[in-house]
Structure 1
Amino acid sequence: MAVLPVSAPDPHGYRAQLAALGTKLEYLHPALEAGETARRSATRNHPANTAGTRAYQEHVRIIREMHIQHEGWRRLLHDHLELVCNPDRTVAIGVMVGDAATGEQGSPPRNLHRRGSATRRVAEVNAAQMELFPVRRREEIVLSAEEVDRLQVWFLVSYRVVAGDKVHIHNELSLPGEFKDGYVTRWKRRIPLPVLEMDGIEPPYEDGGGEIDIPVPFR
């Protein structure tokens, strides 16, 4: 599978650009849909980060399942990043939450939440040293130093907006280029994708039908 060059033309031809990476919109948007559905299962009685955590977990799961089932990709845990990797071990995809510029042609986004050193190393295209006895899960792959050097790690970046009775998820598949103070400051390549629209949110059932009144007899 050919790696998409940094200077690829035609920024509006997202399907051709995705195909050059071995992926499709039909593999990416289902991950965002599953994440939004999982997010909505969290109530105000859950811990504060439950909605975002559930969305992230489903983003990773579905993006892996779609590529594994349809394209023969493999799971990859690379320097603590949860990814899916193509058979040639040249392209991997992860997920990231962006800011309000996500998916916009004119202004590049930043990641909404501060990221750690693993994202910095990916952005700098510096190969992290492999552990002597790496811990891996079944069916995962481990990259050699040479494979790490040529691996491109792309991110499905998403940003959700509640608009009336709809939820709009702005998204793009992008390749980080520079990283500073926990944030991506420059992208080598961006592939803005169509906005995903979903029906609005119905408040989940939280506190039951009311308080329970248990009579206590007085002695």
Structure 2
Amino acid sequence: MLLNAALGNPNDSARLLADMGLRPEYFDRAIRMGERSREQCTKDDAKNAPGTQDYLTRVRELRFTLRTELNWKRYDPKQAPLIVNPDKTIGIGVLLGDARTGLPGNPQPRSHRPAGVTKEAAVVRNQGLQLPLFAPSVEPDEVHLDDDEYASLATWYLLTYRFEGRKSNTVEIRNELSLPDRVGPMGRIDNWRARIILPPVRIPKIQDYTGDQPAAYVVDVQER
């Protein structure tokens, strides 16, 4: 099992994803739908509306896709939305990263915001886990985990970083599916037990967008 470093080789990433029963297009779809949801926002919305809409849509679309196509189940420990495989060994959430997101090697990316109590607990669980991966089975749409099952859940995150190309008039979202291993002194996740680097998502910039970018989803405008 490849669980010690960033997987920059697409074949390695594809193999680990396949072991988990996953494909890159599941995450690409969620990211694109999240970006599209920003089009609904105007200056009359709260300033954090585009980022909030983006996040909520990514959560919804990822959970819907894995639930309907793979029989994964919704799980919401302490209002931290996850989607869990039917064997209750893998959970996936959505998280914003910094500019190192989606790039192999060091330094590793950090979470954009402090992890919070629920994510910190997930990191602690990840540190002590052996990580067997199992084929999915059929369960109800939502799942309940008892204390032992929750303690054995490996929690991965779809980590993303979004920036706009000023010259190319495109938005690029770098992304990876990563397993957090440490919360740093500033409360941000800053080390990952495994990083599956996924293809970046490139989308034409919304021309008529009139809202302000939210503090929660900082956009790095770069010359491209």
TM interval, shorter chain, is 0.7 to 0.9
Tell me if 1:173 matches 2:177: yes
Residue in 2 that maps onto 1:188: 193
For the residue of structure 2 that corresponds to 1:79, the secondary structure is: helix
Residue 45 of structure 1 and its aligned partner are, at CA, apart by: 2.2
Residue 162 (structure 1) aligned to one of 149, 154, 164: 164
Gaps of 5+ in 2: 127-139, 212-224
State the distance in 2 between where 1:58 and 1:67 align: 14
Residue 93 of structure 1 and its aligned partner are, at CA, apart by: 0.6
Per-residue CA shift, 1:158-178, capped at 9, x if unaligned? Answer: 111101311111000000001
- Could you tell me whether the CA contact under 8 Å between 1:123 and 1:178 is conserved in 2? yes
Residue 23 of structure 1 and its aligned partner are, at CA, apart by: 1.3
| Segments of 4+ moved more than 4 angstroms | 8-11
TM-score, normalised relative to structure 1: 0.81
Residue in 2 that maps onto 1:85: 84
Aligned Cα root-mean-square deviation (Å): 2.0
How do 1:18-167 residues align onto structure 2 when only pairs under 5 Å count?
18-107=17-106, 108-125=108-125, 139-163=141-165, 164-167=168-171
State the distance in 1 between where 2:28 and 2:114 align: 24
State the distance in 1 between where 2:83 and 2:39 align: 25
Q: Which has the larger radius of gyration?
A: 1
Per-residue CA shift, 1:70-120, capped at 9, x if unaligned? Answer: 111010112331010001000011100111000000231111122311111
Residue in 2 that maps onto 1:135: none
Greater CA drift, 7-16 or 197-206: 7-16
For the residue of structure 2 that corresponds to 1:36, the secondary structure is: helix
The change in CA–CA distance for 1:104 and 1:70 in structure 2 (over 3 A counts) is: same
State the distance in 1 between where 2:7 and 2:191 align: 19
Residue 19 of structure 1 and its aligned partner are, at CA, apart by: 1.1
Per-residue CA shift, 1:109-141, capped at 9, x if unaligned? Answer: 111122311111000118xxxxxxxxxxx9421
Residue in 2 that maps onto 1:17: 16
The change in CA–CA distance for 1:205 and 1:47 in structure 2 (over 3 A counts) is: closer
Residue 204 of structure 1 and its aligned partner are, at CA, apart by: 3.4
For the residue of structure 2 that corresponds to 1:187, the secondary structure is: strand
Q: What is the aligned-residue identity percentage?
A: 32
Residue 7 of structure 1 and its aligned partner are, at CA, apart by: 3.8
Tell me if 1:6 matches 2:3: yes
Residue in 2 that maps onto 1:134: none
Greater CA drift, 97-106 or 142-151: 142-151
Per-residue CA shift, 1:177-201, capped at 9, x if unaligned? Answer: 0113320021111111111111122
The change in CA–CA distance for 1:95 and 1:149 in structure 2 (over 3 A counts) is: same
The count of corresponding residues between Structure 1 and Structure 2 is: 192
